[in-house]
Amino acid sequence: MFANSRAFSSFSVDDVPRAREFYRQTLGLRVSEDQEVLRLHLAGDRDVLVYPKENHTPASFTVLNFPVDDVEGAVDELVRRGVRMERYEGFPADDKGIVRVEGGPTIAWFTDPAGNVLSVLQE
């Protein structure tokens, strides 16, 4: 039924201008805006919508994953840009906040200004 649908994802934020600055300046994504709704233009011609919500509550799960060739290098650059890496109970992280679990991806989590969880991961 939806095999050929160009599905997309979306999530809310509490401050669109702060989100726009973070996704554009800090993460280096191409971002457009139409009537206070951000469109994050991701590689592979896929977009994610970011919309304002007055009573926004950050997602308690990862809303966006960024596959990278070098998690450690990506984490170093994120920290250099002022991003703080998150640590979660049950996921042993190294000093940089990188989790390396046998059989799973090498991953590190961080949040956007609205508290939504994002990750960089290496398969």
> 29-67, pLDDT tens digit by residue?
999 999 999 999 999 888 999 999 999 999 989 999 999
CATH code for the domain defined by 9-122: 3.10.180.10
* The predicted structure's pLDDT at residue 55: 96
Stated pTM of the model:
0.93
Q: Which of 114, 122, 123 is nearest to 60 (CA)?
A: 114
Give domain limits for the chain: 9-122
CA 64/CA 22 separation, integer angstroms: 14
